[in-house]
Structure 1
Amino acid sequence: MKITKFTLNAYQKFQEESLFIRIFQITLFIWLFSIPLKNAIYQISTVLIIILFLIHYFYYKQKDFLLGILTTYKKVLIVFLLFIASMLLSTLFGISEKHEIFSIFKYIYRYIFIFIILLYFYKQSFFSKKYLLSAIFIVLFINSLDGIYQYFVGLDFIGNKPPDRSLLLTGAVYHHNPFGLLMTIAASMSLVLFFDKNNYTIFKYDKIFYFVALLMFLFTLFHSQSRSAWVMFGIISVGYMFVYIKNYGIDKKLFFSISTLLIISTLFFLVDDNLFHRLTLLIQGNSSGRTTIIWPFTIEKIMDSPILGYGINTYKMLAVGTPSVYHAGVHNLTLEFLLYTGIIGFSIFLYLIIITLKESFSKRKIIYFILFSSYFILLQFDGSLIDGKVHQNIFILLLFFIYSFRLDKNTSSEQYK
């Protein structure tokens, strides 16, 4: 992960590429930047990525090349298609509003098409994993600065948005929980880069930069007050430290760095009564109505229609006239899929999770295994892969990183690693 060195050389490399590759890389960066914003730019950049793919495919007659990609990922793509078919079946025979049947087709380009396009252009050497990681890091760094600005000024500088409930940092993101998730990913990247043993940077003080960035990300993560994101970062930290100690043992750098991080993190909570209160609620198991209202209601409904469920986005319809209607959704990926797509849809998606975990469980991809596992745990308490655009794209990017290793052997993209 030579992110610092690669970022410094990115501009020079960018100048050497063809115009088409430059356009794609700019579009890809804009798409990444727009994901947290969930605005028209996101829609436009998504369409542009698809158009660029179609132009490249037809102009350069890449039928055999695309067929090779589809063959390589045949099993994963079939599972995706089966899951979408289960969504369509549940919606047709459930209680979903009629327009939801047509909205299901958006999952084809949000899930399948973007996944294929990323793999296609990666294999074509239009970008490397380092470029993508660098772009993601830059986007998250900007969002963290935006969150810090929001903390002190009261409005973020990207969308002029105040925090949720005057206290929960969101940056330009629509809600504090997905903002906390993004800061968790950013903090995890900084943590890994700081402890990386490879001497891959030309900055003399590169480790100091990563450590400072980590503290920034932790500040915005904690002040998002997203407890599910806190838990996710805790799982990632423990998992990565276990791998680090197993590979390198306990050294002075590890001991002093972890001690410093623990002291600073403790001070964050001790000097802020709101953070301390949220932490207390987390320790006490306060679930904001999940275990007492939302989940019991959802389980009861699942038992009434266990095979096919009720169709997508039917939670609010089912909850009318009950206390559950005052909550945004199920807040549990497992129960959400069972409610919307029944046992059939849930079983298909669970199979996708299992084969992806199996795919990532190797020494070479262990970081992605830890990240994907912790993200799946977070989804049991917050977020949605049905109507959450931020979560959908994070999920697709994780799948790309995990499955793209299949293309690394005997591919021209190796030159950028």
Structure 2
Amino acid sequence: MRELITVKNFFNVLLFIWVIFIPFKNAIYQISTILLILFFIVYVIKNKDIQCVKDVLYKYKDIFFAFALILLSMTISNVINDVSNRESWRLELSYVYRYGLIMYILLYFYSKEFFSKRLLFLFVLSALSIQALDGLYQSIMGYDFFKHNIANLRSGLKGATFNRNTFGFFMGVGVILSFYAITKEKLLDNKKNLILISLFVLFIYCTLFSYSRAIWVALTAAFLIFTVLNYKNIKVRYIVFAIIILSIVTIIFFNVDYLGNRLEELLNGSSSHREQIWLYSIEQIKKKPIFGWGLDASSIYGLKSFFSPHNIIIEILFDLGWFGFMSFFLLLIMIVKEILKQKSVKLFTLLVFFLVASQFDQSIISGKIFINSFVLLGLFVFIDRIDKIRKINNA
């Protein structure tokens, strides 16, 4: 029993809780965020590990420079605009500790070998699986298990997220990650892969019945990119598997009226008022193009019927102007450059999914769920630097 109670295991329990409760966006998620920060501070002080703190910061100085530029753009935009009647400063503070600091803490403890890529992947897949099972429960009972959020196959599944697009986003990530896990194993060769295939099918089911057209488009784009970039390594058995899945999905679309109607809306270019939101937002952007209107501006100066611009590019330009946009773009370039260095088709495919999905929904300014998901994606991208140093030291 004492062997289980170690500093490393305690950290991994905190990490697991944090990952699991990101989709819930509740008090447990908030508490686990604070506990991770407190654990880091106590660990560094107790072990007098300032040198490692500096080493990690130096190793990722380019990333944190880009992040500092983003914070600078936020500060300038908030200072030059009247933000007294909104939560602009709170949102900027959240960026510091909820995303920037947490990213640094995870990089630090990965460098200390507190957790592995595989363990983090299992945590993420577990979190997504819980949401998918909750979605299945909701489709049967008419409400989700955790929050009794009412939804069904007619209105579209929301799980515990209270939003079809957010739930669909998680299910889309689940489709991609379970697919990656399946391709690591021999198809139908063992019980573990049968479980993964079952999860893959469940994620597809929940993605379809979330009725999130943005996620359908994002998944299609992601798998097209994956196929084009990885066509030489695709085996016949996976082509057969893909044909079977696509055939089943096609049959479902033709036999479920609600799905068919949503697909027809998508093919006809119905944007659910997004064009109206985007056009209005662009006109507002033109009024303050350099530094924008300040954080959370769309809730005040955007269309009153809608919470956000439903497009992260327009959202950044609206709130932070071109200076903020270029700051975010610099960080994106660094992420793409890192992925290209690794020649990782899987990470690039996942990035494409995130970017396409965020053109129709999600928020890069106030969306806790989406930004934390992006932090995890960034972590998988950038920990490769630590792995390379380990290989050199072990050689």
Q: Verify same fold: TM over 0.5.
A: yes
Q: Shorter chain as normaliser: what TM range?
A: over 0.9
- 1:307-352 CA deviation, whole Å, 9 max, x = no partner? 1111011113113xxxx21122101111111110011111111111
Aligned positions of 1:268-347 closer than 5 A: 268-291=252-275, 293-319=276-302, 324-347=303-326
Aligned-partner residue type, residue 92 of structure 1: V
Aligned-partner residue type, residue 317 of structure 1: I
RMSD: 2.3
**Among the aligned pairs, what percent are the same residue?**
31
2:67 corresponding residue in structure 1:
80
Q: In 1, distance between residues paired with 2:71 and 2:389? A: 33
2:193 corresponding residue in structure 1:
207
Match of 2:20 among 15, 29, 33: 33
- 1:68-98 CA deviation, whole Å, 9 max, x = no partner? 1000100110110111111111011123235
Is 1:245 aligned with 2:224? Answer: no
Contact 1:69 1:119 in 2 (8 A): yes
TM (normalized to structure 2)? 0.94
Contact 1:164 1:176 in 2 (8 A): no
Aligned-partner residue type, residue 233 of structure 1: L
2:100 corresponding residue in structure 1:
112
Q: How many residues align?
A: 393
1:221 corresponding residue in structure 2:
207
- 1:125-183 CA deviation, whole Å, 9 max, x = no partner? 11101000001111111110100000110011111111289611111113111111110
Q: In 1, distance between residues paired with 2:59 and 2:387? A: 12
Match of 1:235 among 221, 233, 256: 221
1:58 corresponding residue in structure 2:
45
Unaligned 5+ segments in structure 1 are 1-13
2:130 corresponding residue in structure 1:
142
Aligned-partner residue type, residue 252 of structure 2: F
Deviation at 1:244, TM superposition (A): 3.7
Aligned positions of 1:398-413 closer than 5 A: 398-411=377-390
Unaligned 5+ segments in structure 2 are none
1:354 corresponding residue in structure 2:
333
Aligned-partner residue type, residue 108 of structure 2: Y
- 1:349-372 CA deviation, whole Å, 9 max, x = no partner? 111111111111245522111111
- 1:196-254 CA deviation, whole Å, 9 max, x = no partner? 3x56x997233332222111100001111111111111122222233442224xx4302
Contact 2:91 2:365 in 1 (8 A): no
Q: In 2, distance between residues paired with 1:234 and 1:335? A: 23
2:116 corresponding residue in structure 1:
128
Q: In 2, distance between residues paired with 1:106 and 1:140? A: 24
Tell which deviates more after alignment, 100-109 or 401-410: 100-109
Aligned positions of 1:361-380 closer than 5 A: 361-362=340-341, 364-380=343-359
1:303–1:165 CA distance, 2 compared to 1 (3 A): farther
Contact 2:142 2:152 in 1 (8 A): no
Q: In 1, distance between residues paired with 2:45 and 2:342? A: 38
1:362–1:210 CA distance, 2 compared to 1 (3 A): farther
Q: In 2, distance between residues paired with 1:272 and 1:334? A: 34
TM (normalized to structure 1)? 0.89
Aligned positions of 1:147-186 closer than 5 A: 147-163=135-151, 167-186=155-174
Is 1:20 aligned with 2:7? Answer: yes
Aligned-partner residue type, residue 239 of structure 1: I
Aligned-partner residue type, residue 82 of structure 1: L
Greater relative contact order (CA < 8 Å, ≥ 6 in sequence): 1
